């Protein structure tokens, strides 16, 4: 059932993601990173045109996470609890088993190669296992399973987009196949756990507490302005 947009879980998810991704990168900057390249990965061609999918998927994530945040309360918070579990899995992997991969030498100055060159310079080859790109894209699919008000055609499109994003990660040599598999598995497992347990209630209470504090703060400031007049 469709409900009003719930902003706190979206903000918490964004905050946790940034803490996990950039925090672990900072902590493991001098550590040895394992290369998980396989013979099969070596057979996958480098296709720079996939940069459009890789960068454009952020719009896909934003839209689907907002849609899920508009679902009824239990569906919404079970999903965002799964998302939190997934980030914790990523954090543990990034800290205990940091990985890297082999990137190709970029030759040429066409627009696609230039965009990939920018990506490589902005995003170091670490924090790869599991792939957050693949995990989040898959969350965008599993999160719609309980959203009955979302049309079936859009759910199908979401799966197609998620698969395309996963393909883009290996065709751009941002990830290897095991990263993709681990990312999808993390999304499926954490979503299943969240559906079968009551951990979402803790997430719900925290979100409601944050919302209450923000409203109280805003109300106090409004009262101060009125009194100032």
Task: For residue range 57-73, list pLDDT tens digits in order.
Answer: 999 999 999 999 999 99
Q: Is residue 222 part of a domain?
A: no
Q: Is residue 220 part of a domain?
A: no
Residue 224 has pLDDT above 80, yes or no: no
Predicted confidence at residue 124, as pLDDT, reads 92
Q: Is residue 61 part of a domain?
A: yes
The model carries a pTM of 0.93
Which contiguous run of DSSP H or E holds residue 184?
helix 177-196
Q: Which of 175, 177, 193 is nearest to 123 (CA)?
A: 175
Q: Is residue 17 part of a domain?
A: yes
Residue 227 has pLDDT above 80, yes or no: no
Which contiguous run of DSSP H or E holds residue 194?
helix 177-196
Q: Is residue 73 part of a domain?
A: yes
State the pLDDT confidence band at 2, using cuts at 50, 70 and 90: low
Q: Is residue 194 part of a domain?
A: yes
CA distance 179 to 214: 38
Give just the sign of the alpha carbon dihedral 70, 155, 48, 109.
Answer: negative
CA distance 102 to 41: 10
Which phi and psi (to 5°) does residue 109 adopt? -125, 25
- How many domains in the chain? 1
Note down the domain range covering 20: 7-25+39-209
Predicted confidence at residue 213, as pLDDT, reads 87
Cβ pair 151, 13 in contact under 8 A: no
Q: Is residue 54 part of a domain?
A: yes
Q: Is residue 182 part of a domain?
A: yes
Angle formed at CA 61 by CA 79 and CA 76, multiple of 5 degrees: 20
């Amino acid at each position: 059932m469709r409900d009003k947009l719930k902003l706190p879980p979206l903000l918490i998810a964004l905050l946790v993601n940034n803490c996990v991704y950039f925090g672990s990168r900072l902590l493991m900057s001098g550590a040895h990173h394992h290369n998980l390249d396989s013979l099969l990965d070596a057979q996958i061609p480098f296709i720079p045109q996939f940069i459009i999918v890789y960068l454009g998927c952020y719009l896909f994530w934003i839209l689907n996470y907002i849609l899920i945040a508009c679902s009824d309360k239990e569906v919404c918070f079970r999903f965002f609890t799964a998302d939190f579990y997934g980030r914790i899995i990523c954090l543990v992997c990034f800290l205990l088993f940091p990985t890297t991969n082999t990137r190709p030498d970029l030759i040429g100055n066409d627009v696609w190669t230039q965009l990939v060159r920018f990506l490589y310079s902005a995003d170091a080859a670490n924090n790869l296992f599991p792939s957050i790109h693949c995990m989040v894209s898959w969350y965008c699919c599993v999160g719609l399973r309980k959203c009955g008000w979302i049309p079936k055609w859009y759910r199908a499109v979401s799966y197609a987009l998620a698969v395309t994003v996963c393909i883009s990660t290996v065709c751009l040599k941002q990830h290897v196949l095991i990263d993709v598999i681990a990312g999808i598995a993390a999304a499926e497992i954490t979503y299943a756990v969240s559906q079968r347990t009551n951990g979402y209630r803790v997430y719900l209470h925290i979100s409601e507490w944050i919302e209450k504090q923000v409203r109280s703060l805003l109300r106090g400031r409004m009262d101060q302005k009125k009194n100032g007049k």
